[in-house]
């Protein structure tokens, strides 16, 4: 997606609740282990390169996005934000310690990283001035993908555990980014787009709006013609996961021809993410 949760391959729904070990902070950031699996932040250029290689395999090889000539030559998905932000990685240590061990990734951009770039990635598609005006820290989520062999609930739970711990550490009050619906014909996506507008539109004070030059009206079907359960079932799992956390959508969709997607802007207050995470560790403490 353009504004930063780019093409979302099939993933399990929802936030964490697994049985991984607790967070271990170090100079390089978080690390949470569960068996042979670990979620942590990238620690080196090699880690970032492995994340970019995974993104290329999923977005371009699997999902038919159109790479630039340089991306195609390198077999990597990259842009100018990558050196500035944090990269959350899921690693399967049973696959060794090289690039092939990175099986999931999320890109995390906070205010400072966005400022170094001159703005958030999402701003290319949406007016996010209302979000940027909020006090405290905000977090842009993007470039999420998981290797085809690891699209299981435990993998996604581990990713969400990492995000929740990151949110705790940096006292983030709100997350946002673009999520993608596959395809570039809004008419073919009339049901999910209309459902999201009529049932999950962000309150006005938190509502991003697609930039005028790229704005696609999401109100393609009247609200009374929509069967909510059917529409919800048609949504990508990651979008359903955000909605389960109380997430909202912005006004207007954006067609991204390069990635072969139609993007929506997601806004999530972090209270429910951290609540679920806190309950999990409170339960583990009582049981221990």
Task: Give the range among 155-159, 258-262, 283-287 with minimum mean pLDDT.
Answer: 283-287
Most confident of 21-25, 29-33, 177-181: 177-181
Does the structure show a pLDDT above 70 at 22? no
Could you tell me the end-to-end alpha-carbon distance of the chain, in angstroms, rounded to an integer?
42
> Average model confidence (pLDDT) for the chain?
88
- Using DSSP, state whether 87 is helix, strand or coil: strand
Q: For 149-159, write each residue's pLDDT tens digit.
A: 999 888 988 98
Q: Which two tokens stand for residue 53?
A: 């290689």
Measured CA to CA, the distance from residue 243 to residue 196 in angstroms comes to 10
Locate the domains of the chain by residue range: 4-287
Say if residues 111 and 135 touch (Cβ distance below 8 Å). Answer: no
Measured CA to CA, the distance from residue 279 to residue 213 in angstroms comes to 44
How many C-alpha atoms does 254 have within 13 Å on its Cβ side? Answer: 32
DSSP 3-state percent helix, strand, coil across the chain (nearest 5):
40, 25, 35
Predicted confidence at residue 104, as pLDDT, reads: 96
Does the structure show a pLDDT above 80 at 132? yes
Measured CA to CA, the distance from residue 23 to residue 38 in angstroms comes to 10
**Enclosing H/E stretch for 275:** helix 271-287
- Matching residue, tokens 């005028």: 212
Q: For 24-53, write each residue's pLDDT tens digit.
A: 544 457 899 999 999 999 999 999 999 999
Q: Which CATH architecture has domain 4-287?
A: 3-Layer(aba) Sandwich (3.40)
Write the CA distances from 240 to 62, 182, 234, 261, integer angstroms: 22, 15, 9, 17
Q: For 228-249, write each residue's pLDDT tens digit.
A: 999 999 898 889 989 988 999 9
- With CA atoms as reference, report the closest residue to 252 among 194, 175, 183, 176: 194
Say if residues 154 and 166 touch (Cβ distance below 8 Å). Answer: no
- Using DSSP, state whether 236 is helix, strand or coil: coil
Going by their DSSP bridges, the two strands 86-92 and 31-34 should be labelled as: unpaired
Confidence grade of residue 282 (pLDDT, cut at 50, 70, 90)? low
Does the structure show a pLDDT above 60 at 4? no
Q: Which two tokens stand for residue 172?
A: 């983030």
The DSSP string of 109-159 is EEHHHHHHHTS-GGGGTEE-HHHHTSSSEEEEEEEEEE-GGG-SHHHHHHH
Alpha helix positions (H), the chain: 45-56, 69-74, 111-117, 129-132, 153-170, 190-200, 228-233, 237-244, 271-287
Q: How long is the chain?
A: 288
Predicted confidence at residue 276, as pLDDT, reads: 64
């Amino acid at each position: 997606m353009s504004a930063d949760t780019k093409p979302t391959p099939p993933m399990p729904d929802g936030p964490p609740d697994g049985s991984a070990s607790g967070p271990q902070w170090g100079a390089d950031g978080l690390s949470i282990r569960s068996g042979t699996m670990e979620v942590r932040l990238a620690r080196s250029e090699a880690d970032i390169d492995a994340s970019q290689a995974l993104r290329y395999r999923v977005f371009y090889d699997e999902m038919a996005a159109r790479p630039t000539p340089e991306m195609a030559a390198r077999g990597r998905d990259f842009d100018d934000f990558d050196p500035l932000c944090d990269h959350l990685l899921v690693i399967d240590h049973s696959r060794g310690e090289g690039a092939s061990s990175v099986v999931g990734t999320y890109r995390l951009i906070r205010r400072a990283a966005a400022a170094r770039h001159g703005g958030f990635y999402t701003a290319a598609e949406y007016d996010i001035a209302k979000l940027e005006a909020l006090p405290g820290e905000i977090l842009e989520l993007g470039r999420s993908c998981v290797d085809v062999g690891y699209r299981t609930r435990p993998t996604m739970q581990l990713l969400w555990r990492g995000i929740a711990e990151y949110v705790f550490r940096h006292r983030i009050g709100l997350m946002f980014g673009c999520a993608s619906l596959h395809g570039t014909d809004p008419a073919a996506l009339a049901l999910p787009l209309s459902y999201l507008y009529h049932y999950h539109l962000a309150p006005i004070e938190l509502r991003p709006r697609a930039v005028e030059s790229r704005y696609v009206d999401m109100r393609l079907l009247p609200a009374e013609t929509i069967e909510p359960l059917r529409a919800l079932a048609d949504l990508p799992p990651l979008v359903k996961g955000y909605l389960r956390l109380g997430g909202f959508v912005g006004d207007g969709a954006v067609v991204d021809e390069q990635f072969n997607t139609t993007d929506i802007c997601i806004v999530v207050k972090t209270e429910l993410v951290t609540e679920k995470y806190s309950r999990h560790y409170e339960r583990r403490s009582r049981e221990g």
